[in-house]
Structure 1
Amino acid sequence: MELKDIDLNLLVVFQQLLIDRRVSKVAESLGLSQPGVSNALARLRKLTGDPLFLRTPKGMEPTPFAEQLAEPTERALSVIHLAINQRATFDPETSTRAFRIGMTDIGEIYFLPKLMKELKRLAPHVSLSTVRSATVNLQDEMEAGHVSLAMGLLPQLKAGYFQRRLFKQEYVCMFRRGHPLDKRSISLAAFSAAEHVVVISEGTGHGNADEFMTRRKVARRVVLTVPHYVAVGHILHDSDLVATVPERLAQALAEPFALSYVGHPAKLPEIAINLFWHERYNKDPAIAWLRSLIIRLHGEGAAD
């Protein structure tokens, strides 16, 4: 087989099939029709003389030959992408670029208001969407370029990713104003005797705080468990429940929901909130611009 016989777009479809494993999802990811993806796969099968992907209840599973092709194909496409974009420029005033950022619900509450205000001023035609690390495979999505950046406590993003620390923060104990614990500080005994709402935030490292308290045998009367932080402000405002939350989230929720917070009596470890991007897109000028904006707005030493 000669390179002149290969349509580069077929390799793009091949790489996306390795990530998504479903024709319908690949079509959505690449902006193609499902018949178009199926036709591309049929052409690839004819070119390689291999089925490449087999239908299973779990989706399209790659054959051994497809797995053999995966790494060199990814590497070749990455080199081509970087070469084409090396001299690209980004003008925020005129760009219509659409960015996707992986972040938690905490990130949406804390980061987005200031970021959207600044984007409106500097890049009025740019659009932004967010994805949750619990609902997508953030590693694959960032490697494929579908997610530009990720922000938060995301221990799963390691090899192949650059990161920049935005800030460190502590966990605090939060409750409604006027709560019996609404004092300058609270004891561990008082904390343990209170009724608690606990957030199970999948896809983040925030569960480490609960694990730390469990290891230290810090007792809590857990009466409510929720899967995200979005409703915590409403819940605390209208109840006597107590929540363990990151300090920056507490700062964002305190005034809107008439809440108070104090230093955590269990002396939980500090956590680092980082900005992540895949090494393939380190030199993408648009992503570099957005990174610098986020660091200016939310990095250590940024003005509130």
Structure 2
Amino acid sequence: MDISKIDLNLLVVLHHLLLKKRVSTVAEVLGMSQPAVSSALGRLRSTLGDDLFLRTQGGMEPTPYALQLAEPVALALDGLQQALNVRAAFDPALSTRSFTLAMTDVGEMYFLPVLVDALTRSAPGVTLQVVSVTQASLKEDMATGRIDLAMGLLPQLQAGFFQQALFRQKYICLMRRGHPLAAGNPLTLSSFTQAEHVRILAAGTGHGRVDVALENQKLRRHFRLTVPHYVALGDVLSHSDLIATVPERFADRTLGPFGLSKRELPIPVAESAIHQFWHSRLHRDPGHQWLRQLTWGLFGDGQVPGEEKPI
């Protein structure tokens, strides 16, 4: 199809319909009337020879062809926007931009208190929205710009993304401060395997490597409790004699508030490297560059290569 036959303004409407899925919302975002948005959609349907969207109770659902267009159109519009704004600077002190971050619950506990405090001091108008990295649409949402940055141990993010290592961390054993194993001699393999454990599944992350490492060494543990995430772990451990194997930086956040202790594992488990990830479409965006630099400054420990690189 000859691109000269397409009104590029219609692609802007298409892009926002793919993001918002409601004519009324797109009309408000673009400063258009609802009939004007509907008319633009009608012209797109005629030009492209496809319905593009079907009306449902949940909004305008894109057809397979519309979904196929989503990423190329988003990348093209983003490239044009960056070209037009090449001289534009991002001033965090004046900006009211909103960034969407994807992270696990353990990431929320570790990153957010520090990050929100930094924004309050240096970028008071900037706001954050946090979503889970476990959602099935993570890669698509990052590719289309609905998610700006993902943080954590996320092996599912592959081609099309950039990454920057922030820090490495080991895994340790966490328990209540008065636990029989919390003091005295180093934790032994026998006492570790005989204790009752909490297993944290943490879907969508690479933290399951701990269980794999232990199973590879033919170690059997008794799991009294299995949970899908870390959010209640501090309370559970503080009120029981259960123990858990967790990332050390998460443990450090919970020691004081929940009265917990940490002990070295009696067996070797490989450390994990925590990264920040972003899609190539945002790589040169000034505001996004500022956010990545802020994150690196707050959490990069200098012990791992911190260069930004595509994967």
Question: Which TM-score tier does this pair reach, normalised by the shorter chain?
Answer: 0.7 to 0.9
Q: Which residue of 1 aligns with 2:144?
A: 144
Which amino acid in the other structure matches residue 194 of structure 2? A
1:95-114, aligned counterparts within 5 Å? Answer: 95-114=95-114
Matching residue of 1:130: 130
Q: Matched residue of 2:257: which SS?
A: coil
Structure 2: gaps (5+ residues): 304-311
Residues 1:242 and 1:14: Cα distance change in structure 2 (over 3 Å): same
User: What SS does the aligned partner of 2:175 have?
Assistant: strand
Indicate conservation of the 8 Å contact 1:195/1:240, yes or no. Answer: yes
Decide whether the 8 Å contact of 1:82 with 1:280 is kept in 2. no
Which residue of structure 1 aligns with residue 262 of structure 2?
Answer: 261
Q: TM-score, normalised by structure 1?
A: 0.85
Q: CA deviation at 1:31?
A: 5.0
| CA displacement 1:83-115 (0-9 Å, x = unmatched) | 133222111111111111111111111111111
CA distance in 1 between counterparts of 2:43 and 2:292 reads 39
Q: Provide the identity percentage.
A: 49
- Whole-angstrom CA distance in 2 between matches of 1:24 and 1:258: 49
Contact 2:23 2:38 in 1 (8 A): no
- Which residue of the partner structure matches residue 309 of structure 2? none
Counterpart code for 1:142:
M
Give the aligned CA root-mean-square deviation in angstroms: 3.2
Cα distance, 1:108–1:2 mapped onto 2, change above 3 Å: same
Corresponding residue number in structure 1 for 2:21? 23
Name the CA distance, whole Å, in 1 between partners of 2:16 and 2:218. 46
Deviation, 1:142, is 1.4
1:67-96 deviation line (CA, Å, top 9, x unaligned): 775665354334213313322211111111
Report the Cα offset of residue 248 of structure 1: 0.2
**What is the Cα deviation at residue 274 of structure 1?**
0.6
Query: Deviation digits for residues 240-296 of structure 1, max 9, x if unmatched?
Result: 111111000001100111100111223111000011111111111111111111111
Q: Is the 8 A contact 2:172 2:263 kept in 1?
A: yes
Counterpart of 1:219, as a letter, is R
What is the identity, as a one-letter code, of the residue corresponding to 2:201?
I
Q: Is the 8 A contact 2:75 2:281 kept in 1?
A: no
Structure 1: runs of 5 or more not aligned: none
Asked if the contact 2:171/2:271 (under 8 Å) is kept, the reply is yes
Maintained 8 Å contact 1:23/1:38: no
2:171 aligns with: 171
TM-score, with structure 2 as normaliser: 0.84
1:23–1:168 Cα change, 3 Å: same
When the two structures are aligned, how many residues end up with a matched partner?
298
